[in-house]
Structure 1
Amino acid sequence: MRTIELGRTGVQVSSLALGAMQMGNATDEKDSIRILDHYREVGGSFIDTADCYEWWAVPGSRGGHSEELLGRWLTGRRDEIFLATKGSAVPKLDPALWADDGTPNWPLARRTFAGAGADSLRHALDGSLKRLGTDHVDLYYVHVDDRATPLAETLETLAGFVRAGKVRFVGWSNVRTWRLERIRGLCERNGWPLPVAVQQQHSYLRPKPSADSASIVDHEQLDYLREHRDQTLVAYSPILKGIYDDERKRDGHWAMESYAGTDSDARLAAAAEVADEVGVTPNQLVLAWLMHQTPRTVPLIGPRTPEQFEDSLPALDVRLSREQLDRLDAAGA
């Protein structure tokens, strides 16, 4: 496992990060431990979770399952792991959050997220530390950008976490580029720690022109991050639920809603062609492509099964030529 510098911190993190969102629910403890142990065996150390994972899986839940499982696994290993978690995205408890069949009510959840106010973040971080069984996390994200709370309040609170030694570095997720620039200005003026990681949905496919999401990287955000190397892009959903390997899966899949179109068709064909040349699957090719990118990008994989995790590992050994990278970049309508 290669490493890259996180922002300009001088700290090296694994080039492939492991997301623990499903651990403790969709992925049971036995399989979660298998994945975590194997990730360490191949040299991985950058593990990502959040306090809200996975509230939606169990009616009446407040989340925390992933953090609790990681807390058990981390015993005796804490110093070996660069540990990231997030706060702000646990919704207000309400019976209406789940339908009678257990289906989560996402529109209601998004209207009632805890947000990034000072008190909310303090309670969220303390809860995360307790579940994780540690006195600090290496990276703490604002999980969902909160426009209802003054940025200064959020940033000052995060700065307090760093001063107290509860957090080493801060990050931001699901955020527009203009907000990143405003955050940068406030941090510079007030001496607050700048977010060193920006966690966004990012893949080889490009969002279609009609897509409008604060969570998906667009051309402007890529340009911004190329100009600001002190912030590293952490790319979640890098293989879009595995659609690159399965043509049938793309048809009507919700993961394709922001991408489907002629541009994506052309890029899917290019990915398949180059994957065949280097002897990997298209999913593996996309992970490798992301690790070759500027701005520096850390793909964040979230395998549900040990087999899915193992399927991602060949990407670590792929070396793409300049000609192949140029061809992949040029593909599209």
Structure 2
Amino acid sequence: MDIALGTIPFGTTVDEKDTFAILDRFAEAGGRMLDTANNYPFWVPGRTGDESELAIGAWLAARGNRDQMYLSTKVGARPTVPGDTTLDSAEGLSAVAIRTAIEGSLRRLGTDHADLYWAHIDDRSVPLEETLGAFDELVKAGKTRAIGASNLHSWRLERARNISAANGLTPYTHLQLRHTYLRPRPNAVIPETGHTLTTDEHLDYLADTGVTLWAYNTLMFGAYTREDRPIQEIYDHPGTTRRLETLRQVARELGATTNQVVLAWLLADGHVPIVGVSSLAQLEEAIGATRIKLDDELKSRLDGVS
């Protein structure tokens, strides 16, 4: 199953019992990819950022299935000041920060390696050579198998990959960005300051290089289906009305939910949708999306709306 399970609420708003139930069902359905970070959910008062990794680690230990799962975690955005719920004191991407952070993540996850380790932010206060060199050390030490960049502009990704190629360092092979079926207005400013929206330039770059996109906020906080979750103002333009109409038409024809069609559309483009769930019902809906196959006609209809 080519979706990644988003785990931000695990160990906090989703307690251990429900976390284990969700992870059990995900694994039973063939899910392998778990996406977490060393700071989830630090922005909630009273939380440290340890919680998600600790919950996953407890489940892995209880089930003894580390080798069956693909662990993705991140470094760079964990506060260094206790109680800070902003990114003002983020640890950043210095070599020291990366070396320190991986040890904490591996300890909480109860493993000796991550399968994919991400730079959570773009830290321009640190030379890319230093950041990439530190990541390369982790790969050579067996502490991660691959590295990725989250919330990075395409020109910065290209620069980083060129530096890696020129210096024989492990390159970024994955990119994590906010991406969904609806398209924001050009130059729209999103309220979530830590998020970076996917652009056409990103998509063109990914198609040309084979870098894999992991897409987050795929279902827009539930706004596709929940009346209590309005679609954000950045999508307030005529194209949204047209795309929603087409999305809903395709969903009716397939006997699927709009959420499922969004996820199927992302999968059809070769992306990895990250789906954050807090209940088994939400997980079942996501699992159902992996059984939907968009034929060429349906895919073209969805893509063709501007």
Q: TM-score, normalised by structure 2?
A: 0.94
1:151-300 equivalent positions in 2, closer than 5 A: 151-212=128-189, 215-229=196-210, 231-247=211-227, 249-250=229-230, 253=231, 256-293=232-269, 296-300=270-274
Match of 1:325 among 294, 299, 302: 299
Q: Which amino acid aligns with 1:71?
A: G
Unaligned 5+ runs, structure 1: 2-14, 98-103
- Percent sequence identity is 41
Is 1:51 the counterpart of 2:38? The answer is yes
Is 1:21 the counterpart of 2:8? The answer is yes
Is 1:111 the counterpart of 2:88? The answer is yes
| 1:305, distance to aligned residue in structure 2 (A) | 1.6
Secondary structure of 1:258's counterpart equals helix
Query: Would the aligned equivalents of 2:48 and 2:82 in 1 still touch at CA under 8 Å?
Result: no
2:259, 2:128 → 1: CA distance?
37
1:265, 1:90 → 2: CA distance?
38
Q: CA offsets per residue over residues 289-323 of structure 1, 9 Å max, x none?
A: 11101xx2010101012221112221111111211
Q: CA offsets per residue over residues 101-151 of structure 1, 9 Å max, x none?
A: xxx4xxxx2232111011111111100011111111110000111111110
2:221, 2:247 → 1: CA distance?
16
Q: Which amino acid aligns with 1:58?
A: P
Q: Which amino acid aligns with 1:188?
A: A
| 1:244, distance to aligned residue in structure 2 (A) | 1.3
Q: More deviation in 241-250 or 48-57?
A: 241-250
Unaligned 5+ runs, structure 2: none
| 1:248, distance to aligned residue in structure 2 (A) | 5.5
Match of 1:74 among 45, 50, 60: 60
1:65, 1:94 → 2: CA distance?
14
1:156, 1:79 → 2: CA distance?
27
Match of 1:310 among 260, 270, 284: 284
Q: Which amino acid aligns with 2:304?
A: A
2:275, 2:160 → 1: CA distance?
27
Secondary structure of 1:167's counterpart equals coil
Match of 2:22 among 17, 32, 35: 35
Query: Would the aligned equivalents of 1:116 and 1:146 in 2 still touch at CA under 8 Å?
Result: yes
2:81, 2:203 → 1: CA distance?
36
Q: TM-score, normalised by structure 1?
A: 0.87
Q: CA offsets per residue over residues 237-260 of structure 1, 9 Å max, x none?
A: 11111211235532xx5xx23322
Q: Which aligned runs of 4 or more in structure 1 are off by greater than 6 angstroms?
A: none
Q: Which amino acid aligns with 1:123?
A: T
Decide whether aligned partners of structure 1 residues 302 and 248 sit closer, same or farther in structure 2, where only a CA change above 3 A counts.
closer
Query: Would the aligned equivalents of 1:25 and 1:57 in 2 still touch at CA under 8 Å?
Result: no
